[in-house]
Amino acid sequence: MARTLDEVHRDVRQAVTGRAGTLWEVALRLHADPEYAFAEHRAAALLTGELERAGFAVERQIAGMPTAFAARSGRGRPAVALLLEYDALPGLGHACGHNLIAAAGLGAALALHDVLDGTAGCVTAVGTPAEEGGGGKAVEVEAGVFDDVDAALMFHPGVHDWRWAPLTAQAQYTVAFHGRAAHPTGNPTEGVDALASLIELFNVVAVLGRRLPEASHVQGIVTHGGTATNIVPEYAEGRFGLRAATTAALEELAGRLREAAEGVARATGTRTEVEQATVRYDHFRDSAVLSGRFAGHLSRSGLTLTEPAPGVYLGSSDIGNVSTRVPAIHPFVAIMGENGSDHTPAFAAAAASGRAREVLIAAAQALACTAADVLLRPGLREQAWAGHRAAGAAGG
């Protein structure tokens, strides 16, 4: 006899509880052995090993990345993707708690497989490398990994209990100036100082910065400023990190940077080249209907999620790119107090604490229940897609 949705929720929660010891062990093994962007080989092997042993069909090295993978239970539509991050931070280890993201996604996927056995559609555990630099999810979006998916679900440990993550769009640009070398005193009128142009660009950017919209920001560094003090620099190069509340605002900001560089080049008699240097992270679009379901399920474990504080932006992530394609959630669940911060040694310690274990199990259960909702309730899928299309149409 077919189970009711409530019974499925009960059963996946029990399945996560039954695997709690294994999931915590996976989280601790990842934590003790941090690996970095695109080189998370042992993490990918550990996670795909668990999934394969449970009966998932595992595809390794997807989207041209050696440490990315997709592990499927069932096929076709409806389809849910659980996103597993597992990269760490050089010098700090798992100071962003991605060991917990991986173990929670794993736990949810295994529980859904235990209970539904691929009969309700497709459950895919997607291994997403290099969130901290490189943007594995952005590469996967481009490769079509999320083309046949109805929802992409993950959680992120943090210092807040927030239903969704205010994440800005972000990209880096290199700006090069070409001048002409000369001896600074021997034949100074021959020299065209490329470094002086770059310094001028910093001045212009500082002026622009005073009237940028909320959340728009430019941070520049000099990456090449000449070779010797007895040569007028013929080449100078800077790198500029741009952020904005939306992808559209980011593109506008990049246009401003380009105009400023070209204006400086015209004024100083140099030539400039402006190039995008990194994968662009889009801003995050929360699927309110799905993050609401997640929050509801999480409250069964005594954890309450609220709206983020207004006007607060917490950086950028490649989940933004996924959220432009499919309904997506990225709630924060606190593993330490609000006066703490991720990307610190204290946060790395918190990612292996007793509180982290409780959050891991609660998040895995809530992810599994939310995924079951997506698979078993066509009306919810339609609502999620309608919300997704409305956000896209509004450019928001």
What DSSP element (H or E) covers 92? Answer: none
Does 130 engage in binding with Zn ion (CB under 5 A)?
no
Least spacing, CB of residue 137 vs Zn ion, in Å: 12
96 vs 372 by CB, closer to Zn ion:
96
140 and 323 Cβ atoms separated by less than 8 Å: no
Tokens matching residue 354: 């007793």
96 vs 260 by CB, closer to Zn ion:
96
94 and 345 Cβ atoms separated by less than 8 Å: no
Rounded Cα gap, residues 82 and 105, in angstroms: 6
Least spacing, CB of residue 132 vs Zn ion, in Å: 5
99 vs 291 by CB, closer to Zn ion:
99
**Radius of gyration (Cα) for the chain, nearest Å?**
24
Binding mask 41-80 for Zn ion (x = CB under 5 A): ----------------------------------------
Nearest of 161, 107, 157 to residue 131 by alpha carbon: 157
Least spacing, CB of residue 243 vs Zn ion, in Å: 15
Tokens matching residue 225: 């400023």
Point out the residue whose Cβ comes nearest to Zn ion: 96
* DSSP assignments along 272-324, one per residue: EEEEE-SPPBPPP---HHHHHHHHHHHHTTT---BPPPTT------THHHHHH
Least spacing, CB of residue 342 vs Zn ion, in Å: 6
Polymer length of the chain: 396
Residues 88-117 that bind Zn ion (CB under 5 A): 96
168 and 283 Cβ atoms separated by less than 8 Å: yes
How many chain residues are in contact with Zn ion, going by CB under 5 A?
1
81 vs 289 by CB, closer to Zn ion:
81
Least spacing, CB of residue 303 vs Zn ion, in Å: 19
175 has which bridge partners? 238, 274
82 vs 196 by CB, closer to Zn ion:
82
Question: Which amino acid does the sequence have at 38?
Answer: F
Least spacing, CB of residue 374 vs Zn ion, in Å: 23
96 vs 112 by CB, closer to Zn ion:
96
9 vs 137 by CB, closer to Zn ion:
137
Binding mask 148-187 for Zn ion (x = CB under 5 A): ----------------------------------------
Which residues are near Zn ion by CB under 5 A? 96
